[in-house]
Structure 1
């Protein structure tokens, strides 16, 4: 008997079916226009773009233009790439334009799909960003799809790391710009640290299409982007706190090893307050619970963690007077890696090592808050439905499952569950051997590099030839994935590897053709292509006859999405294929979720060693476990985002204010208002309202007027005059301060003075914002403890961060006023001395550059790896991206011969 839900779906269709159905009339319109657009000349296609752009900028809606724009784009792609978009690809493009995520299976041509909404939205002249997961894909897709955009008369740009500024500016001015999420985020932060509008690279955040949207907006969104710089030296504070920690008794703190957390008890807090007061680290009358103590509480907590949670020779070692962390999974030293937020410094103090300066956050943003800046967002991936709630709640993105062009012919086996990891891997090796013997290509998914190496050793012992996918170099990754569909190929990969590159049965034809042409440059390329394409047909058929690509996963991931991604590598475009998951009760997910119960069931079934249980119920219970973990992870990300949203509101205010200041020609009114407010605050502080003259602190006011306003006026005499009140003093101080600044303006000249005001305001905002970010970091780390006092940490954080932001704005006024009051024109001698110093520095820099150049040239010839040939990559060996370049330049490989081109 059918359930009610199933019955209604049969009658009305699912919500997804209804969305897909709604696009059919639009697709029919586009198809009906095809004959008309086929008649256009190449120039006619570009003229059509101009006409559509004029209509879009003239106020016609993009939805009205969509059929013509998509038809024009399809024709341009057909001519420039030889690819005619399927109806399902047009559907995917429509959903992207509407601000949805198009879930499209692997091999359905998502790269081409993005060109349709990108072209349509670029017609407004506001620019479109296409976001990819790595630099290699950004460059590849930009190069490949620029042929389509070029045929349409649009410009294409690409953003990559260490790009020259002028090239970056030009790329952002293009109609369509390809970039990674990291580069876009960092450029946004860098732009908001610039001093002039002309230095800012990014335009408005109009529309972005995010490829592999689940990876970028969910997996990578856990860690914020941070630009950091060295902070002030706090060595004395770390050492002073370190002396107190050994005095702490067992009843002063609680330790939870399971969650690796340690907290002070009430007795501990009382003891600390007393000892910190005695050491002069906390002012008299201030407690650890006051907002002013936030930074101190943070460092005291880090000191306790360093002593109680981090053990020498287990978590770190001391080598050459330096604290080096140890990776808990591999046991390897992690040279160069440091713990953040002062924890590393606390361990250095504990071990008596030299305390390295702490890095301070200059600017930071989460991917969630960066991508929410866009007026419209769209995304593509093979797997998004399991995270649909998160996409909707955080980004307002709906998820639509786009039907495949051809029915999926892949067979998905039920999971095979073994009792031990050893039995499981024996089963895995046996399954790989069987597939390899009949010529079926196999892609093996593992959850870590160690497990992939372990499996590689097992296969080597059984004489099974195979490739291990090493993701150190993206180009190499693409090559291995391209070969993974060859007859009998065995490829071991981590679950996420190879995204963005299709596994084609029989191997990748384009890669084969490129290899053949580079091996024989004299031969006719067309003849090579024809020969290889003919041979490939036989290879492809042989692989299909062997069953297509076999995806074998050695573990289930915490997220169903990543399992589905791996499964989706097989069965592209209606190809045959098979997927199977091999699990054991010793796997992390099985161990955490009910393995004891399952173990009892397996024992009662009397399973022999090497046998596996295979049943749909096992799949169902595992999926339920995974859904629970996904829900928990979403809650964690949601909570993190709530905290970041507080800072994000403040970030928008500060960045918006900076932009207004850069756009303004004349800031003299703003600085005058600031000065007036500072005077008001000073008078209110030293001459309280409704107080008697003998209660006034005129000496304090006089000192502060000199310090903050830079004017020496007879404040004390004024205050002693008969009938003078606070309002009179206020007016006289304002008049004197205005005269003082007017004299400066005359000395500097109006134009120079306006520029000085702008630079001082910007520099002061930046300095204050940096301090504020550090305080918020510390507040964030200690506010969680308020939960023990039955107070909501988030509300506490909101209240205190707002108070801190108010004090930032107060401090900004007084700092700007003080700096402007103290500047003065240089004397002629000072100017000459400064010019001479600059010339000397330039001379030294040129001399250093010349000697460095000579040394590099010598090193390249003398220290190059034996056999190294500049133009022959096969002689370079296989260096890691962070290893020294084999040419002997002394640079890292990724910055020298290993640059992504």
Structure 2
């Protein structure tokens, strides 16, 4: 026995010690139970108010924990009939401490979250509970909202396409349920708003992330992106798509590990000829010329679309659109698109309508979004295999919480076959045998294609079954709820984050709801009583048959995904069994497995249909999976290092935007910018340590008119005796200040302050968009610097910083230039604008009278880096024309109210304010 094992026997593992440390707290909570059971319903709410008062007097949350947990447990018992077990209290304590609570499937994680959420919401700063999909966000907010209501707390839920006021109210609630995507998008949207009142989120205090491994690891590889449309290049994609099938295997090489394709030298020559013949590459221009970068990029994406992306595995075609499938959850990712023309290349391949590529307006990775929270915690059934990543990236510890009942599931050793055909024959036999004795079977597959192929095989054998994949997305809860019934066979592409428990004998709640929906007049109590009796009888039969049998048809790259599937069996001490069926033709075995295994099986002289079953095989497979996990972690870590560079800049820009929105008077900021522009102009045209005859006064004169809007005798000044750079700077500065003072007098100080704020925000947003595009291009270029023995990351940091400094310089220039050129409209211009508005209103009225039906226009889906993406935030959009706002006077800006830049203009023109009376120049 090694020293480490002896130490663990004596002192326990670090995990055991953490569990032991919570026991005194759990005992305190249990000791308080009779006191809280004796309280009235109003008494529970009074306790909440008392806790808030104690916090205001300086008490710490840790001091309140036992009482707050006891109060919350009692509220849940009354509202839901659920009393939290001791292990659930432990899970809640670890969440409050900012850890990940690893709790097995069926241990009641949804209820566990209420305990730390209630405690931390007492601060009044809001708590976010993050779920993997909208269905779970809605379900959990309604279900657990009853607990919070019994405690005098408010609950909100954030979902896509929600009315603005509803969403704002949800974020103001004490506890807010939302998906990770919507939280990230709202953060980006908030930082594109023109005023504080329009913003949704009120800070990032405490978040509890459900299915934390899925959100913070699996989905963290791709950023969230808000984007807007760019030019349409459909013809280019279609031309390239027609060219790909003409290439042979000798023209390119495929790397399945990195999911990349590269052209061989021979392929490049053939490609050059083909592109020139089609007019996509000018005569005499080589693929290696810088001008060819765009064409080469799109040909590469076309090849990747054909060779690396498979229909019904990586995506499906639905209603004429290419919809991606999440490899980890098997779900359709509607609205999520691949970036850099790859999604368009797949659309061309499938003959779908090609949506235009988009440009990034704002983006953030989940890593950097969730690191905004003062305190972060998470729950999942499988996190320990990724503990290193959670600790290094997020500073989160992982604690394995013991199960309420001991696990009775039997995990068999893997069965390894020579070929996929033999493996599937054995799987069908195993399913038929289990089904014959009434044992429910959950079959895990890795793609839609494989789940449907297995389904066909079972149909031939006459085995009734359900298939759960992206195509049956809408029936998900029902299929999962029935998966534990006697003799049920369910084929599922993935079981991560399904949210519905597989209960032996079926799900009582679902059955009751079904019966009541079919027969609304029936007595609910009588129905429940009958169904519970039937369920108890069926559950006993299922237990006798061996409980749920989880049969996996392949190993995933990640051990976590395998463990999630396995963990569906054996909930709350139920019997169960799990077994993995593999073949040497499986992706993991083929790409990452050892050739030695194939040689060993040859030497053993295995016969057709025979399998090798041994613990050593399991261990070698787990080692292969651990290597893949480590490699994927390195990729994510490298991506994060690059994103951190942008994140530092993002914080500066978003911070400045917020300061601008909060400020009443920005005249000092604008003045500093103007003075800096004057200084830069003097340094450019009258360089330091030069004589007057070396100055470019003509250039300075032209620049002063263009950038500062002032016509001053710079050339004459330069010829005066005793005038140096400092004198020139002062004179220009004073002239520019006088020019702006006149504008303030013309517009009025209050109107001018509003104009300054809007111009600053608009210019920052515009410059930041351009900067993001430059960073994307820089990122793709620096990768090649490694060939010159230079570190791409350091190169990226240096050049990104230089680009950022350049952006700030041009920001100052543009703001100063725009402010110097604005002027009030003349009466004639105002009359002309009124005529145009009236004409437009008349046209719109005619169109409205003639229209018989209204068809909402379909917005082109935006593009992201394989990421959830969102169309550019457009505020209220183009509103229909109507009457002017009450009290609106054309010549008096004070009567216009305070519309947002993207809101309809109060004059009733139907235009956005920024394109109408809010027009700045």
TM-score (norm 1): 0.85
Give the distance between the partners of 2:584 and 2:83, measured in 1 at CA.
48
Aligned residue runs from structure 1 range 429-828, under 5 A: 429-472=428-471, 475-496=474-495, 499-828=498-827
Aligned residue runs from structure 1 range 219-618, under 5 A: 219-231=218-230, 257-258=254-255, 259-261=260-262, 300-307=292-299, 310=302, 327=311, 340-341=339-340, 358-472=357-471, 475-496=474-495, 499-618=498-617
Give the distance between the partners of 2:712 and 2:494, measured in 1 at CA.
74
Which residue of structure 1 lines up, in the alignment, with residue 864 of structure 2? none
1:37 to 2:31 alignment: no
Give the distance between the partners of 2:809 and 2:565, measured in 1 at CA.
54
Secondary structure of the corresponding residue to residue 854 of structure 1: coil
1:618–1:852 Cα change, 3 Å:
farther
Give the distance between the partners of 1:354 and 1:84, measured in 2 at CA.
54
Deviation per CA, 1:211-246: give whole Å up to 9, x if none: 00000000011110000112478999x99xx9xx9x
Deviation at 1:399, TM superposition (A): 0.2
Q: Are the aligned partners of 1:256 and 1:262 in contact in 2 as well (CA < 8 Å)? A: yes
Deviation per CA, 1:452-507: give whole Å up to 9, x if none: 00000000000000000134565520111000000000000012356211000000
Deviation at 1:837, TM superposition (A): 3.5
Which residue of structure 2 lines up, in the alignment, with residue 293 of structure 1? none
More moved, 171-180 vs 709-718:
709-718
Give the distance between the partners of 1:35 and 1:313, measured in 2 at CA.
64
Q: Are the aligned partners of 1:554 and 1:581 in contact in 2 as well (CA < 8 Å)? A: yes
Q: Are the aligned partners of 2:312 and 2:448 in contact in 1 as well (CA < 8 Å)? A: no
Deviation at 1:534, TM superposition (A): 1.3
Q: Are the aligned partners of 2:51 and 2:64 in contact in 1 as well (CA < 8 Å)? A: yes
Aligned residue runs from structure 1 range 853-892, under 5 A: 854=853
Structure with the larger RCO, 1 or 2 (CA within 8 Å, 6+ apart): 2
Give the distance between the partners of 1:690 and 1:614, measured in 2 at CA.
84
Q: Are the aligned partners of 1:440 and 1:488 in contact in 2 as well (CA < 8 Å)? A: yes
Aligned residue runs from structure 1 range 120-269, under 5 A: 120-231=119-230, 257-258=254-255, 259-261=260-262
Secondary structure of the corresponding residue to residue 203 of structure 1: coil
Q: Are the aligned partners of 1:155 and 1:174 in contact in 2 as well (CA < 8 Å)? A: yes
Give the distance between the partners of 2:621 and 2:344, measured in 1 at CA.
43
Q: Are the aligned partners of 1:780 and 1:797 in contact in 2 as well (CA < 8 Å)? A: yes
Secondary structure of the corresponding residue to residue 161 of structure 2: coil
Deviation per CA, 1:277-330: give whole Å up to 9, x if none: xxxx9xxxxxxx9xxxxxx96x743422434674599569xxxxxxxx985968
1:617–1:789 Cα change, 3 Å:
same
Give the distance between the partners of 2:501 and 2:312, measured in 1 at CA.
35
Give the distance between the partners of 1:137 and 1:183, measured in 2 at CA.
13
Secondary structure of the corresponding residue to residue 853 of structure 2: helix
Q: Are the aligned partners of 1:506 and 1:536 in contact in 2 as well (CA < 8 Å)? A: yes
Secondary structure of the corresponding residue to residue 55 of structure 2: helix
Q: Are the aligned partners of 1:136 and 1:475 in contact in 2 as well (CA < 8 Å)? A: no
1:657–1:505 Cα change, 3 Å:
same
Secondary structure of the corresponding residue to residue 260 of structure 1: strand
1:232–1:302 Cα change, 3 Å:
closer
Secondary structure of the corresponding residue to residue 443 of structure 1: strand
1:131–1:852 Cα change, 3 Å:
farther
Give the distance between the partners of 2:234 and 2:472, measured in 1 at CA.
40
1:503–1:818 Cα change, 3 Å:
same
Q: Which runs of 5 or more structure 1 residues have no equivalent in the other structure?
A: 246-253, 272-280, 282-288, 290-295, 317-324, 858-901
Secondary structure of the corresponding residue to residue 406 of structure 1: coil
Give the distance between the partners of 2:51 and 2:314, measured in 1 at CA.
58
Give the distance between the partners of 1:680 and 1:708, measured in 2 at CA.
12
More moved, 134-143 vs 517-526:
517-526
Deviation at 1:592, TM superposition (A): 2.0
Deviation per CA, 1:674-732: give whole Å up to 9, x if none: 00000000011101112111111111000000000011111111111122111111111
Q: Are the aligned partners of 2:451 and 2:493 in contact in 1 as well (CA < 8 Å)? A: yes
Which residue of structure 1 lines up, in the alignment, with residue 105 of structure 2? 106
Q: Which runs of 5 or more structure 2 residues have no equivalent in the other structure?
A: 244-250, 273-281, 283-287, 323-336, 857-921
Deviation at 1:256, TM superposition (A): 5.6
Deviation at 1:157, TM superposition (A): 0.2
Give the distance between the partners of 2:304 and 2:69, measured in 1 at CA.
63
Give the distance between the partners of 1:840 and 1:404, measured in 2 at CA.
72
Q: Are the aligned partners of 1:302 and 1:346 in contact in 2 as well (CA < 8 Å)? A: no
Q: RMSD of aligned C-alpha atoms?
A: 3.1
1:71–1:427 Cα change, 3 Å:
same
Deviation at 1:579, TM superposition (A): 0.4
More moved, 592-601 vs 411-420:
592-601
Give the distance between the partners of 2:581 and 2:346, measured in 1 at CA.
43
Give the distance between the partners of 1:13 and 1:719, measured in 2 at CA.
83
Q: Are the aligned partners of 1:709 and 1:817 in contact in 2 as well (CA < 8 Å)? A: yes
Which residue of structure 1 lines up, in the alignment, with residue 860 of structure 2? none
Deviation at 1:830, TM superposition (A): 2.2
Q: Are the aligned partners of 1:413 and 1:578 in contact in 2 as well (CA < 8 Å)? A: yes
Deviation at 1:599, TM superposition (A): 1.7
Give the distance between the partners of 1:846 and 1:482, measured in 2 at CA.
54
Q: Are the aligned partners of 1:97 and 1:117 in contact in 2 as well (CA < 8 Å)? A: yes
1:311–1:431 Cα change, 3 Å:
closer
Give the distance between the partners of 2:63 and 2:676, measured in 1 at CA.
53
More moved, 595-604 vs 572-581:
595-604
Give the distance between the partners of 1:443 and 1:344, measured in 2 at CA.
33
Deviation at 1:380, TM superposition (A): 0.2
Give the distance between the partners of 2:344 and 2:137, measured in 1 at CA.
38
